[in-house]
Amino acid sequence: MASSPRSPQPAELEISRQSRILAALSKKVIDLDELRMLAAQGVPDGAGVRSTVWKLLLGYLPKDRALWEQELAKKRSQYEAFKDEFLPNTVGGSSTPGGSEGHSDGNAEHVENGFLDRSEIAQDDHPLSLGKTSQWNQVAEHSEMIEQVDRDVKRTHPDIHFFCGDSSFAKSNQDSLRNILIIFAKLNAGIRYVQGMNEILAPLFFVFRNDPDYKNAVWSKRLF
């Protein structure tokens, strides 16, 4: 009596799925519909596959492989510019109205040593103003956003050493999350920061930061 066909083992299925995804990624122009269908079944973690697939499906990388290096260089340069424009500078290590821990930015560029420059404030502006153009209101909103980001970043996956603890590595990753969330909030004024965005960002940053491709991992640390 003939025996029934042997069912594929989980390890074999994993290898098969990875092979199909690698084949899809090897094309000169990536078929995003095909890649999306394959990714829906799960993306293997080996060989940097997951980070590449996520970058493609999120629109970070173009479909044309020949443009990847050029686009990565462009986006990295752009992010450096965003950091220079939006990320705060420390003023004496103390908190200022421009943000927590002595931070200020474009909305609070006239804040110095914890005070707004009176010459830059309109006569009818005052600390209780809720007007969109109010310097006082902009500083207050910015400070509130920074405080919310700081609270959420510190609460991100407290059970995972990558995100929490006293190690310089964990603190560096927390700083990276903080930077990304602040820049996103400044670039998207209509959305700003919403509580819980740190939980959406965390797996993305974790995957990109742990990319087996050393160059990509280093850039993730430098840029974020």
Report, as an integer, the average pLDDT of 2-26.
72
Domains of the chain: 10-63 (1.10.10), 82-223 (no CATH)
- Amino acid 122 reads A
Note the pLDDT of residue 194. 94
pLDDT tens-digit readout, 160-182: 999 998 899 999 999 999 999 99
In this prediction the pTM is 0.72
pLDDT over 60 (residue 44): yes
Query: Within 10 Å of residue 21's Cβ, how many Cβ atoms?
Result: 23
Would you give the DSSP letter of residue 112? E
- State the DSSP H helix or E strand holding residue 32, giving kind and residue range, or none if neither: helix 32-39
Contact 178, 148 (CB under 8 A): no
b (16+ CB within 10 A) / e for 163-193: bbeeeeeeeebbebbbbbbbbbbbeeeeebb
Q: What pLDDT, on the 0 to 100 scale, is given for residue 6?
A: 55
Q: Which residue has the tokens 């686009």?
A: 71
Assign 10 a pLDDT band (cuts: 50, 70, 90): low
Quote the CA–CA distance of 190 and 136 in Å, as a whole number: 19
Tens digit of pLDDT for each residue in 185-206? 999 988 999 999 999 999 999 9
Average pLDDT, the chain: 77
Q: Which residues are paired to 111 by β-bridges?
A: 116
DSSP H helix total and E strand total for the chain: 8, 2
Over residues 91-118, the pLDDT tens digits come to 333 333 333 333 444 444 444 444 455 5
Residue 71 binned pLDDT confidence (cut-offs 50, 70, 90): very high
The answer on pLDDT for 123 being more than 70 is: no
